[in-house]
Amino acid sequence: MANITKKVSWSSRGDDSGLTGEGTPLLNGSEIPKPSRQDPIRGRPKEIPHNEKLLSLKYESLDYDNIENQLFLEEERRMSPMGFRCLEISRWVICGLIGILTGLIACFIDIMVEKLAGYKYQVIKENIEKFTEVGGLSISLILWAVLNCAFVLVGGIMVAFFEPIAAGSGIPQIKCYLNGVKIPRVVRLKTLVVKVIGVICSVAGGLAVGKEGPMIHSGGVVAAGVSQGRSTSLKRDFKMFEYFRRDTEKRDFVSAGAAAGVSAAFGAPVGGVLFSLEEGASFWNQMLTWRIFFASMISTFTLNFFLSIYHGKPGDLSNPGLINFGRFESDSVAYYYYEIPLFMCMGALGGLLGALFNSLNYWLTIFRIRYVHRPCLQVMEALLVAAVTAAVSFTMIYFSNDCQPLGPERNEEYSLQLFCADGEYNSMATAFFNTPERSVRSLFHYQPGSYNPMTLGLFTLTYFFLACWTYGLAVSAGVFIPSLLIGAAWGRLCGILLASFTPTSPIWADPGKYALIGAAAQLGGIVRMTLSLTVIMVEATGNVTYGLPIMLVLMIAKIVGDYFQEGLYDIHIKLQSVPFLHWEAPATSHWLTAREVMSSPVTCFNRIEKVGTIVDVLSNTSTNHNGFPVVVQVLDSDEPAKLCGLILRSQLIVLLKHKVFVELARSRLSQRKLQLKDFRDAYPRFPPIQSIHVSQDERECMMDLTEFMNPTPYTVPQDTSLPRVFKLFRALGLRHLVVADDVNRVIGLVTRKDLARYHLGKHGLEELQLAQT
Amino acid sequence: MANITKKVSWSSRGDDSGLTGEGTPLLNGSEIPKPSRQDPIRGRPKEIPHNEKLLSLKYESLDYDNIENQLFLEEERRMSPMGFRCLEISRWVICGLIGILTGLIACFIDIMVEKLAGYKYQVIKENIEKFTEVGGLSISLILWAVLNCAFVLVGGIMVAFFEPIAAGSGIPQIKCYLNGVKIPRVVRLKTLVVKVIGVICSVAGGLAVGKEGPMIHSGGVVAAGVSQGRSTSLKRDFKMFEYFRRDTEKRDFVSAGAAAGVSAAFGAPVGGVLFSLEEGASFWNQMLTWRIFFASMISTFTLNFFLSIYHGKPGDLSNPGLINFGRFESDSVAYYYYEIPLFMCMGALGGLLGALFNSLNYWLTIFRIRYVHRPCLQVMEALLVAAVTAAVSFTMIYFSNDCQPLGPERNEEYSLQLFCADGEYNSMATAFFNTPERSVRSLFHYQPGSYNPMTLGLFTLTYFFLACWTYGLAVSAGVFIPSLLIGAAWGRLCGILLASFTPTSPIWADPGKYALIGAAAQLGGIVRMTLSLTVIMVEATGNVTYGLPIMLVLMIAKIVGDYFQEGLYDIHIKLQSVPFLHWEAPATSHWLTAREVMSSPVTCFNRIEKVGTIVDVLSNTSTNHNGFPVVVQVLDSDEPAKLCGLILRSQLIVLLKHKVFVELARSRLSQRKLQLKDFRDAYPRFPPIQSIHVSQDERECMMDLTEFMNPTPYTVPQDTSLPRVFKLFRALGLRHLVVADDVNRVIGLVTRKDLARYHLGKHGLEELQLAQT
């Protein structure tokens, strides 16, 4: 019934697992992945796998399960109730700081973009106006292209050469981080700096991008930095918040940072909280959520406060986000219930267009992975896109003859008259010759008749391809605003067409409303977020009444889109071969049990283990394990060794570094006892084993792991079904799960990668390859 | 450092645990609880304990952990991917139905209350107007009191005699249910009917109550009914949704129902989702949340749709909830940032007043538990409150001389002229002579000067005590609206006073705004909800701008209030001695390990067990256990018996009922194999063991539990710290957790009650008594 691929005994090894490395390392160094062994029964031709058929072993996992070893318990027991209260207060202080800093960054980006883009458009506008009369507009085009390229060049070089992880919106990376995957360098200060400068350059450079997505990443970086009370990049340790120097706490703060980012970007504090929860916190905790909400609120308040001062209206707290959809004033009736089927059709269209967008971007990304991986090539591609964007925009404006009267209520900052009569402006130019945020707002709110259908159609078409080409470039940029813009354009088009069919009652097909629905549909079709996106849209709209249609539209867009292609972020996560755990185990995975899923045999350590053995195991590059069950052998008995704990590579490294050997402890009685502080100081960049020198004499020493290992690791019997194991993993944020038999012997180890390997494909349960890439 | 009460070996037994009942049943039948043994070191006088120092054993827990036995796994494995998709679709359909029905119920309540209250106020108004001129207003008073009492009598009798669980708002009960405690009869159809009629009667009866809180309970009942596809009260089985007949699935739907209830009550779909998540779903699941949101949206839409038809404005979807705070139109500046400290002071005041309210209500509830427990007494108290409410209201209106001009924009439906001049109305009457919802709106939105400070002060004072007296009566009623009303009154008073200090710039102290902040502060001080309440308030206000002050105010109110007294719902949960699990283990509980927490020794069954033994254990009323570890003894060996599974009382009952004995299976080969359907049909009202007849011959038979037990129960070693055990419980929704030693022998069992027993008191960790009451 359930068509599952036959389970083959598995000999590759994840970096998280503790397999014994016997025989030659099968996959070590083999860059080329083996063809996937899916569905051998059907005998379909084995196609050359793309990257998404692989799971990379290079990504380590985060330890979200507290290591409750003796040191930790002693510390907790020493702490008074007042101590716990102080900790709680510092958590709140940190969240407040995260909110303030994220808001300030958003403020900085906004002001810089406005300044630079304003300057650019002013120069070009003057130039165009000059040449419209005298002819020779091609000079204007060149000027436009050169200015765009200049900005993009700066941004592209920053990203491609200094910090490639800062490319894109950063949302997939933050998703992975919150999911429990350690993406290298994702929460570093350098990444933040490159990201901020990069996003300013790419928006000012006129690319089809938004500045909102990167805020989420920026918030995450701020949170990771503030909560640790030190910066490894700046080599400053403020000796604060040392308690929070572990993955569990840091993750909580990064959730708060991401939420603060969303909140600043869209003025949507609740949407931010829901985003963080949707993506991250599998274990919902009331206090944590409340803190996340606090950070979000502070962030949007800070942004609003400083922007209101900047705009000369201090105290006006009505612009809570970077993007603001403006007020949809529903004087009487927001929408009629018979419009709902129309909205749902638009949702389906959004899903289709979103799937098309994602598919195109998918192929483009594969192409980029194969051929455009050198930094200079990446910068050149970015420059090409910038020039093409300018050229296309210019051409569209040039050949457009959609002239609209320049009404008194329009305060167009960069309205182009071009070939229009005096007192009129070029309508195509409001869409192209503008920052995307302003274009979205104009599509939502301009009166019926401000755009003609031809303009909107052409704009949708060109912007669709431009945005699709742009996403994935080596520039910092978000896809939210371009998606909204495409959707708003065709949504408004729908509204105009509908109104033209029923000219007698034109009120009900208000094009602005349809633009909003179209924007939601397109964005939902591309990113496939659900609850949080609904709330973000509603908060950005500032009108709860549109909640139901937006929700329905997003739902339909997701269902239709998912039929063809995954969401854009998921595609990029998959193409990176990240071992990402979804919310639930695949539905048809009850066939599998821990026995089949686990890696086995497992490298275990004895409770008192020889230093040489530990060093050898840790140095074995072919296995590169991270978690090791600790076993105890009853002396003078042939009973099997029993599980008594679990120890991590990072802990062993610290122990080796501090030479916590039994013999030394005996000889030097006064030796300082290793404390939790030593582990915290080393966190998160534990040195590699190669950097730790262990002499031949020391190799013969013994190490007592009792105090440092986690004495109560979670275990499951080998008959536990995959969904049950999965639930345990997700609910507790595990990294390693020991599989034990009925006398408590270790028989296997389940890691994140063992679970992420299974997914529901078109032909039932499929299994991904593990690869060292 | 951490002052923890000394752990005494514990011999009472929870109904969830599998203790062997050796010796005399210590607490069985002993109604009077032993004095609590807290803090013997300090030698404080042992005061007579109140109920909240006890944990009742009468509440069973829900099984939120899937019983993944062979039957279940076989069924799952038989199911095709299409089958899973159908299940998913039915889940959506059910959530849609829940939304529609909840919306309809809200609609019904709203229309009925409006009709009845309208009729009542009309009659009284005419009467008062008649007697104002001629004198003899005491007849009006009597008429008012009699009408109130008549309504309350009906509601009180329904609740006190037919379904006492329908009393109050039902929010504590739903909180407990979502937390995993089985409150008897809480989700039955009869409860719903009594609740709906009761709430109509108590609001129409003029009590200081709201109709919003009970919607949450109603939504939960609807969800529990619809999702099971049958009604045991009506004895109808629609043979639908049989897959969902287990606690896990039912709980998910009840979350959706509660959210739909919040959504219908306050027009706050997002707030509803957050309420459900805050209270219930410890394991956050994206699809579930999305479904909950769907139910919420549908519910508010249904309510809005039908109300718009009822009000003759079909298609006007701008009144999404039962209560609507009205639009706070912030033309320019919603609030100035220097007002924030003022708001925070108001938050602190709200916390203080809330704590006072809760303390008074706490003593009142203790009094009621002791002396007012007979139904007729309860009805009489309700009548007394109804009469006093009428009398107080009348007196206040009578002696008030706050006359306000009847402006053209005021469409007072029940404005009383009384002794005011023509064209004026009595301002106190708008507050008292009105449904509370309307009073709240008038306090929020009437122009400055509509109320004088004296009126507001008196109103606050009287309504405070009335509301406090009313909550806990044997009527269905919510505390949300009275709290909002009290807060709005003193908030508006604050606004007026502030404005009078700064007469030059009266704009910034808009009394309506301060009324809103006061309402939030008072409500937060009483119920102490955090995130969800913020979102509910923001959604009901329809203005995101007030998000930050509302959040700050709620936070301060909670902090200040928590210093003195718990939240109202928590008090009532505690007074019921419900074993409620909070979000986290007490901070200073790292001292405790599973060894100290667990119940031991444990009644275990063998995998193939004699029927007589099972019947005897199940019949033992002194233990009344619900979960039994299943062990296997290796034949011909003196090795200890090893854990191999876990079986529940309910399963054993079904097995006994169907006589699934090894011997019978052999003799009657054609016997139908027991299926999951048999368990589902018996769910949730499994017959008591006494109703199952087992003959003497059958007692000698054997039962094979292999197929039915959960073969992979979660286990922990005995050294696991309490926080770790707690986290496992919360994250996975466990009911039983087996404590095993290093060779997998059962040495103890941890149940919800063992964990709920510990809480952080004023003097460190305290331990509650277990009692059979």
Assess contact for A394 and A362: CB atoms under 8 A: no
What is the chain A residue with the closest CA to B724?
A68
Whether A46 shows a pLDDT value over 70: the answer reads no
What is the structure's pLDDT at B509? 62
**φ/ψ (deg, to 5) at A519:** -60, -45
Same domain membership, residue A543 and residue A416: yes
ipTM metric: 0.87
Q: Are residues A366 and A506 in the same domain?
A: yes
Looking at residue B364, what is its pLDDT?
94
Residue whose structure tokens are 């009623």: B477
What total of structural domains would you count in chain A? 3
> Which residues in chain A have their CB less than 8 angstroms from residue B534's CB?
293
Place of tokens 């008030």: B400
Q: Does some domain include residue A145?
A: yes
Q: Strand ranges (DSSP E) for B33-89?
A: 54-56, 60-61
Interface contacts (A, B; CB < 8 Å):
218
Residue B283: phi and psi, rounded to 5, are -100, 105
Assign residue A125 the CATH number of its domain: 1.10.3080.10
Return residues 326-365 of A near B (CB < 8 Å). Answer: 330, 332-337
Residues A556 and A647 in one domain: no
Percent of chain A with pLDDT over 90: 33
Please indicate, yes or no, if residue A13 is contained in any of the structural domains.
no
Same domain, A347 and A477: yes
User: What are the contacts of A694-699 at 24+ separation with CB within 8 A?
Assistant: A694/A611, A694/A612, A694/A615, A694/A656, A698/A611, A698/A659, A698/A661, A699/A610, A699/A611, A699/A612, A699/A615
The neighbour count for residue B575, using CB atoms within 10 Å, is 19
Question: Where is average pLDDT lowest: A331-345, A373-387, A627-641, B413-427?
Answer: B413-427
Q: What is the mean pLDDT of residues A749-769?
A: 83
Q: How far is CA B596 from CA A515, B627, B750, in A?
A: 63, 19, 10
* Better-scored residue on pLDDT, A263 or A663: A263
**Low pLDDT (below 50) residues in chain B:** 1-50, 332
A270 closest CB neighbour out of B270, B320, B764: B270
- CB-nearest to B535 from A81, A270, A555 is A270
Residue A33 confidence (pLDDT): 37
A645 with A691, same domain: the answer is: yes
**Cross-chain Cβ contact B539/A544 below 8 Å:** yes
Q: What is the pLDDT of residues A438-490, one digit of tens each?
A: 888 888 888 777 788 888 899 999 999 999 999 989 999 889 999 999 999 99
Interface membership of A51 toward B (CB under 8 Å): no
Candidates B270, B538, B556, B760, partner chain A, best to mutate (most A CBs within 10 A): B270
- Residues of A within 8 A of B587 (CB-CB) are 81, 84
Local structure of B304: helix, strand or coil: helix
Alpha-carbon distance of B531 to B534, in angstroms, equals 5
Summarize pLDDT for A294-317 with one digit per residue, the tens: 999 999 989 988 998 888 877 666
- The reply to whether B295 and B431 lie within a common domain is no
- Among B327, B315, B300, which residue's Cα sits nearest to residue B107? B300
CB B649 within 8 A of CB B618: yes
Lowest mean pLDDT among A32-36, A70-74, B132-136, B762-766: A32-36
Q: Which residue of A has its CA nearest to B583?
A: A285
pLDDT given at position A89: 93
Q: Which residue has the tokens 């009324």?
A: B515
Using a CB-CB cut-off of 8 Å, the residues of chain B touching A581 are none
Residue A321 lies in a domain: no
Q: Are A417 and A525 contained in the same domain?
A: yes
The verdict on residue A11 lying in a domain is: no
Asked, for residue B75, whether it belongs to a domain, the answer is no
Instruction: Give the list of residues 6+ apart from residue A247 with CB closer than 8 angstroms, or none.
Output: A62, A63, A64, A684
Burial profile B614-643: b = 16 or more Cβ within 10 angstroms, e = fewer:
bbebbeeeebbbbbbbbbeeeeeeeeebbb
| DSSP run (H or E) holding A642 | strand A642-648
Query: Do A603 and A734 belong together in one domain?
Result: yes
Distance from CA of B313 to the nearest CA of A (A): 10
Best residue in A284, A528, A562, A598 for a mutation probing chain B (most B CBs within 10 Å): A284
Average of pLDDT values for A59-84? Answer: 86
- Sign of the Cα pseudo-torsion (A716, A718, A719, A725, in order): positive
Tell whether A567 is within 8 A of chain B (Cβ).
Answer: no
Contact A353, A522 (CB under 8 A): yes
Tell me the three state secondary structure of residue B571. Answer: helix
- In this structure, what are the phi and psi dihedrals at residue B57, rounded to the nearest 5 degrees? -95, 0
Q: Is the residue at B669 inside a domain?
A: yes
Q: Which of A493-502, A647-656, B309-318 has the highest average model confidence (pLDDT)?
A: A647-656
Q: What is the pLDDT of residue A48?
A: 36
pLDDT above 50 (res A110): yes
In a domain, B349, yes or no: yes
Question: Does residue A206 sit in the same domain as residue A109?
Answer: yes
Report the pLDDT value the prediction gives residue B30, as an integer from 0 to 100. Answer: 34
Q: In Å, how far is A772's CA from the nearest CA of chain B?
A: 31
**Confidence tier at A668 by pLDDT (50, 70, 90):** low
Mean pLDDT, range A490-505, rounded to an integer: 82
Q: Who among B535, B545, B744 is closest to A744 (CB)? A: B744
What's residue A441's pLDDT?
86
Interchain proximity B284–A283, CB inside 8 Å: yes
How many whole angstroms separate alpha carbon B470 and alpha carbon B464? 10
- Helix/strand/coil for B746: strand
**CATH no. for residue B652?**
3.10.580.10
pLDDT class of A146 with cuts at 50, 70, 90: very high
Q: Is the peptide bond before B684 cis (omega within 30 degrees of 0)?
A: yes
Question: Which of B285, B315, B711 has its CB closest to that of A583?
Answer: B285
Residues spanned by the domain of A497: 337-442+462-574
As a dihedral over the C-alpha atoms of residue A574, residue A578, residue A581, residue A582, rounded to 10 degrees, the angle is: -20
Section A218-240 average pLDDT: 85
Q: A605 and A742 share a domain?
A: yes
Q: Which residues does chain B have within 8 Å of residue A728's beta carbon, measured at their own beta carbons?
A: 714, 732
Residue type at position A121: Y
B421: in domain: yes
CA distance, residue B404 to nearest chain A CA (Å) = 30
Provide the pLDDT for residue B5.
37
Same domain (yes/no): A279, A191: yes
Q: Please check whether residue A724 touches B, CB under 8 A.
A: yes
B550 shares its domain with B599: no
